[in-house]
Amino acid sequence: MSNPAYQQMAAELRAAIDDGTYPAGGTLPKIVDLAQQHGVAKQTARAAVAQLEAEGLVDVTRRRGTVVRARPTRRRLTRGRQVLRDERGYYFDASAQPWTALEPPAITWAPAPRDIATLLGLPAGEEQQDVLVRDRLMGDATTGTPLQLATSYLPASLARGTQLAQKDTGPGGIYDLLEQMGHAPLSWEEAVSARMPTPTESDRLHLPKGVPLLRITRTTTGPDGTVLEINDTRMSANTFDIGYTLTRHPSAQHP
């Protein structure tokens, strides 16, 4: 079964963008001209261009028409599987260490998203109970450029009535505070995934249409294995990638 005509046309245009026939910053022909060139109806040509826009390959503007989007060089975030520390407290990525909060944290009590509730280990039937949500926008303080959203979710039974629910949690942030509360030493593990952003996330991170989020979900546990916090960090997958060093296992040593 062949693909619909608009998908076939989109594939041809995508290939022309990839090989430089339509370079970054340049424009595609007008819809009426594309339809004539590809021997399709104007509605089919519009659907093909809409497909490319959804993929983040072009921007459709009133003034210039369909503009081929430039593809920025991605910045490598190296996750060295180590927890580091500076005068501000623990951090998890040396390349992101200079980033700072661009605005005060937003503190709310709300149900956690379903996947976060599962990671927190909330009992069945309690997924909709409020948890503490600490939401921060991080970025380059010099330019004011937003680079990541970092949202922490903490169980209400742990956080309610404590300094964890205050905007200023003191030196070292919530991790130092958790350890001062008797949960030392903390342990962490991370998972990397991707998804499309919500409209709010796109707006706060200044994401062009069609750009997915790179997502790092970090689980913080105490010495007894109790989950104390889930941190959901999101950034532009068009700007960043995740890197790490591969080491040889003894079974892979060169003879």
Query: 154, exposed or middle or buried, with CB in 10 Å at 0-12, 13-18, 19+?
Result: buried
Whether the per-residue pLDDT at 231 is higher than 90: the answer is: yes
Could you tell me which residue, 247 or 202, shows the higher pLDDT? 202
Whether residues 230 and 110 share a domain: the answer is yes
CATH number of the domain within which 32 lies: 1.10.10.10
- Residue 57, domain extent: 5-68
Whether residues 62 and 79 share a domain: the answer is no
Which residue, 68, 92, 122, sits at the end of a domain?
68
pLDDT at 123: 75
Which residue, 68, 91, 108, sits at the end of a domain?
68
What does the pLDDT look like over 34-80, one tens digit per residue?
Answer: 999 999 999 999 999 988 888 778 888 888 889 898 877 777 676 66
First to last CA, the chain: 51
- 186 occurs within a structural domain: yes
Which residue, 20, 48, 68, sits at the end of a domain?
68
- For residue 87, the number of C-alpha atoms closer than 13 Å in the C-beta half-sphere is 1
Whether residues 29 and 50 share a domain: the answer is yes
What does the pLDDT look like over 4-23, one tens digit per residue?
Answer: 899 889 889 988 888 889 99
What does the pLDDT look like over 186-199, one tens digit per residue?
Answer: 999 999 999 999 98
pLDDT at 104: 93
The Cα 159–Cα 82 span in angstroms is 26
CATH number of the domain within which 105 lies: 3.40.1410.10
The Cα 233–Cα 79 span in angstroms is 13
Sign of the dihedral through C-alpha 22, 25, 30, 35: positive
How many structural domains comprise the chain?
Answer: 2
Q: Which of 61, 54, 59, 51 is nearest to 24 (CA)?
A: 59
Reported confidence tier of residue 81, pLDDT bands at 50, 70, 90: low
